[in-house]
Amino acid sequence: MADQTQETDEPSAPAGPPPRGPWLGRALVISALALWGVVVSLRLPDPDRPRPPSAALSRDAKPDPEDLSDLTASTTSDGHTYADDEEQQEPRSGPKRALERALAEAARLHAEAAAGRRSDPSRGDPDDQDDAPRDPRDRLPIAPWAGDLSPPAQVTYVIKRGGAMKMVANLYKMHYHEILAYNPGVELDKELPPGTKLVVYRAAEGEPSESVGSAGDGSLVGGVPMVDGPGRILRMEPWKSYATGHNVALLDAILREWSRRYPNDRPLLVGNMAQRAGGRLKPHSTHQSGRDVDLSYPQVELSGEEYNWREMNAKNLDAARTWDLLELLYETGAVEMVLIDTALQRLLHEHALAQRRVPKGELPAWLEYPRRPGTTEAFVRHHPGHVDHLHARFHCRPEEPRCTSK
């Protein structure tokens, strides 16, 4: 039998006939294999290193570079190679050739590992790349829950402490004939008990709901009032609660998702949106076209304080949850920007760095701070007056050709 190659992943298998060759040749082979063992042991601490498959050698196979890679499979963690392997792997082409191949193979594996680390961001220490510019979208793809939204077909208002339907019409600045048509059989002036539900909006067939112009100089066609539901406390006057039907559905989905993710948190306060037909809504310069909404910041609960809008600072801003909220808004793919006072952006920036809340390389895409206000297209931008609430603006939609974003 000329060849005695064996499957080297079975080191306990019978070694077969004793190897031949002069003593000097055997010593060189062992030296080569020992060197290979050292090379392998140096590579071993990286468990992700690409490893060639362990190929079993057929009895008639000629030795090829794969021979030596087999040794990798039978190398123990301390770099020791099995004695059996040393004998089984004696190459026919000479010890010098084996050493060359071992070195070439080591160089090849090293180059492969280095290339792998470059091309695969999951490899290696993530801190190495923390500063590299990153697109938040890579980490936060558009969420399925934010897609395929249907505008509400009907919106109801629940009378809390009593009152007549006329009062509800006034809250929404609706015409009496409209609310009468929505609620047949209910008299305008009759006192209604708490808990009575009245319809305040019903979608009409073919009626458009569309944002027109810009948020700072625009109007709203077919405004839909905001719906109640989980994750929110509606704190605006009802006549300031309008948006496009799509944006009402989107905000509803955002708040439902918020409540689903953080069921033990207090709901967010929802503030002003737009008037039914849009246009100037004092004291805001924007909120004109059904794309804006004011929301409370996630607050640290301080004892003795009722839950309300309040000026935020390092003590009462829940920076971690605010990041959660920003990411949730971002995940919709439908939020154009968020307005947050630059002083609070600084707190968010510090928190992100200290807690590694977001990769450092993403920060310029998230926050305008520490750059000068008005100089960036960051997701979060400064605008005066946003210390006690943040302001989210939704994108124009392709279905809204008259909607503009300046």
Nearer to Zn ion, 256 or 284 (CB): 284
Asked whether the beta carbons of 342 and 399 are under 8 A apart, the reply is no
Part in contact with Zn ion (CB under 5 A); list of ranges 15-23, 291-299, 361-369, 392-400: 291-299
By CB under 5 A, the count of residues binding Zn ion is 2
Q: Which is nearer to Zn ion, 5 or 272 (CB)?
A: 272
**Closer residue to Zn ion in complex, CB, 168/274:** 274
Determine, following the binding rule CB under 5 A, whether residue 391 of this chain makes contact with Zn ion. Answer: yes
User: Cα–Cα distance between 86 and 33 in angstroms, integer?
Assistant: 7
Q: Are strands 380-381 and 335-339 parallel, antiparallel or unpaired?
A: parallel
What DSSP string describes 144-209? GGGSS----SEEEEE-SS-EEHHHHHHHTT--HHHHHHHSTT--SSSEE-TT-EEEEEEPPTT---
Nearest-10 crossing angle of helices 319-331, 245-261: 140
Instruction: Yes or no: say if 62 and 27 are a contact pair by the CB < 8 Å rule.
Output: no
Q: Which window, 24-32, 68-76, 274-282, 383-391, contacts Zn ion (CB under 5 A)?
A: 383-391
* Best CA proximity match to 386, nearest among 317, 329, 321, 324: 317
Decide: 308 and 251 in contact? Cβ < 8 Å. no
Kindly report whether the peptide bond that precedes residue 238 is cis, defined as omega within 30 degrees of 0: no
Residue with Cβ nearer Zn ion (294 or 400):
294
Residue nearest to Zn ion (CB): 391
Minimal distance in Å, beta carbon 47 to Zn ion? 51
Shortest CB 233 distance to Zn ion, Å: 17
In the bound state with Zn ion, the residue whose beta carbon lies nearer, of 276 and 391, is 391
Q: Nearest-CA neighbor of 213 among 244, 189, 182?
A: 244
Q: ∠ at Cα 192 (189, 198), nearest 5°? A: 90
Q: What CA–CA distance (Å, rounded) separates 254 from 390?
A: 15
Of 357 and 389, CB closest to Zn ion:
389
Nearer to Zn ion by Cβ, of 232 and 391: the residue is 391
CB-nearer residue toward Zn ion: 16 or 216: 216
Residue 46 Cβ vs Zn ion, minimum distance, rounded to whole Å: 52
Tell me how far, at minimum, the Cβ of 382 lies from Zn ion, in Å. Answer: 13
Distance in angstroms (rounded) separating the CA atoms of residues 342 and 362: 18
Least Å distance, CB 356 to Zn ion, is 31
- Any contact of residue 246 with Zn ion (CB under 5 A)? no
CB of 292 to Zn ion, least distance (A): 5
Quote the least distance from Cβ 370 to Zn ion, whole Å: 23
Number of Cβ within 10 Å of residue 237's Cβ equals 12
Q: Is position 362 an interface residue for Zn ion (rule: CB under 5 A)?
A: no
Q: Are strands 191-192 and 163-164 parallel, antiparallel or unpaired?
A: antiparallel
Residue 283 Cβ, how far from Zn ion at the closest point, in Å? 10
294 interacts with Zn ion by CB under 5 A: yes
Cα(396)–Cα(247) distance, integer angstroms = 10
User: In terms of DSSP bridges, do strands 335-339 and 268-270 run parallel, antiparallel, or are they unpaired?
Assistant: unpaired
Q: Which of residues 104-163 bind Zn ion (CB under 5 A)?
A: none
- Find the part of the chain contacting Zn ion (CB under 5 A) among 140-148, 156-164, 261-269, 387-395: 387-395
Supply the minimum distance, in Å, between the C-beta of residue 181 and Zn ion.
32
Q: Is 382 in the site for Zn ion (CB under 5 A)?
A: no
393 binds Zn ion (CB under 5 A): no
Instruction: Provide the minimum distance between the beta carbon of 254 and Zn ion in the complex, in angstroms, as a whole number.
Output: 16
Q: Which is nearer to Zn ion, 381 or 391 (CB)?
A: 391
* Closer residue to Zn ion in complex, CB, 382/391: 391
| Cβ neighbours of residue 353 closer than 8 Å, sequence gap 6 or more | 360, 363
Shortest spacing between CB 276 and Zn ion, in angstroms: 17
* Whole-number Å distance between alpha carbons of 252 and 230: 8
Nearest to Zn ion of 294, 368 (CB atom): 294
Stretch that binds Zn ion, among 115-123, 148-156, 178-186, 391-399 (CB under 5 A): 391-399
By three-state DSSP, how is residue 218 classified? strand
| Contacting positions for Zn ion (CB under 5 A) | 294, 391
